[in-house]
Chains A and B, each alone.
Chain A
Amino acid sequence: MDNSILLEVVTPERLLLSKPVQMVMAVGSDGAMGILPHHTHLLTGLKIDALRWLEGTVEKKAFISGGLMEVTPEKVSVLAESAELEEEINKERVLEARKRAEDRIAKAKTGAPDIDLLRAENALRRAISRLKILN
């Protein structure tokens, strides 16, 4: 029995990844989960966080900015609005983005009207989980 499952990560801009893996680990709306080959059918939302998977025994990571995951026994499809492989993340840019987001949140809390707190918080969350992947 073939002990692998096809992992596909699609974003609007590109097909990020499509390869057989041994296990997928994701953070769904209801918490973290691990998916092995021959998993039952499952649909879930994904949080802004890392997606991890095993290629053989090597663990790889990618950043997912929220989205959906559809699991069938043969295939895991991840639909994300944006996603990056670990090696594509630029640390300096993430640090900048984190600073920008923090500034915006600080400003929004002092009552600047033109700043969307929710969006700033989401930006911060994205920056933090990108950093988490790098470290």
Chain B
Amino acid sequence: MASLRDIKTKIKGVKKTRQITRAMNMVSAAKLRGVQARTLRFRPYAEKFAEVLARLAQGMRPDSHPLLYQAPQINTVAVLLFTSERGLCGAFNNNLILTALRFIREQEAAGKKVRIYAVGRKGYDYYANRRGQDFAGGITGDLGSMGFETVAAAADLVMRDFLSHDVQEAHMIYSNFRSMSTQAPTLEKILPITPPELASPGGAQVIDYIIEPSAEDLVGEILPRYLNVRVYQALLETATGEHAARMLAMDNATKNCSEIITNLTIMYNKARQAAITSELIDIVSGADAVSG
């Protein structure tokens, strides 16, 4: 049996670990609220944007803008993969990377090549160090502090390759925040752009707008921005999911620590009791020997 002092040191160590995991849990909770507030602030912009685009896109031909162009044959597919910057969030990043791997396998089975773009350190490192995978770089940094402009730069990477016809289709893989305990890796097609539908088609909503300069020009201006909006939304979802996943992971870790501490304390008490008993035996047998 381990000595009393060993057990005591171990209990101290586990208690410190528990303090850290508990603190990380609380930090994640705070960050989660921050990202959720940003998501709420972003919503009016995203909604208005989709509405305007839907209105403009009514009756537009699919070949009127390069970002709407559906190539007859697809050779290379781009994948924009969102992961978190840091670990310690359970299976969160693993699930995202696995989804990417599965998608790549499917595409390659269909005879297409896949090019990866990454947002977030985990996915970036995974693909940067993987041989035989076409990796086009990306952006790393804490997702929660990425602004709209940073994200636009990431979207730009993909868009450039699409416009130069290096890739004919683009998807993104991000984590869809369903609830505090469920974050589902989600695959979505982002290029060519499919314009959103009007919420109430054919209703009284149809209003004749004066459009300046012209519908085509305006669509040309807002389509790239629409891509940014989609990518930014995915980023916010992923950041929310990351913090939720970390909260859960840290909560579990804290519980495990408490359990270990309970077990160790029982062990400590037993060891102490055993030491007392053996000391007593010593004394008693010594006394017996003296009194003969």
Interface residues of A (CB under 8 A from B): 10-15, 28-30, 40-45, 68, 70, 72, 77, 79, 81-82
Contact = CB atoms under 8 A, between A and B. Distances in A.
A120 to B, nearest CB: 14
A45 B209 contact: no
B152 A42 contact: no
B6 interface: no
Identify whether the interface residues of B are mostly helix, strand, loop, or mixed. helix
Contact of A15 (B38, B41, B147, B232): B41
Nearest to A14: B41
Contacts of B63: none
23 contacts: A11-B45, A12-B148, A12-B229, A15-B41, A15-B44, A29-B212, A30-B212, A30-B213, A41-B208, A41-B210, A43-B209, A43-B211, A43-B212, A43-B218, A44-B211, A44-B213, A45-B218, A45-B221, A68-B52, A72-B207, A77-B48, A79-B45, A81-B149
Nearest to A15: B44
Interface residues of B, number: 30
Contacts of A70: 48, 52
Contacts, number: 74
Which 9 pairs across A and B sit closest by C-beta, in order of nearness? Answer: A44-B212, A12-B148, A42-B210, A41-B209, A10-B45, A29-B213, A30-B212, A43-B211, A43-B209
B212 A13 contact: no
B209 A13 contact: no
A11 B149 CA distance: 12
B206 to A, nearest CB: 11
B52 A43 contact: yes
Given A44-B218, A45-B218, A79-B52, A13 B211 contact: no
B216 to A, nearest CB: 12
Contacts of A68: 49, 52, 218, 221-222
Contacts of B207: 41, 72
Contacts of A43: 52, 55-56, 209-212, 218
A11 B48 CA distance: 11
B49 A79 contact: yes
Contacts of B38: 13
B45 A45 contact: no
Contacts of B48: 10, 70, 77, 79
B222 A81 contact: no
Contacts of B212: 28-30, 42-45
A28 B210 CA distance: 13
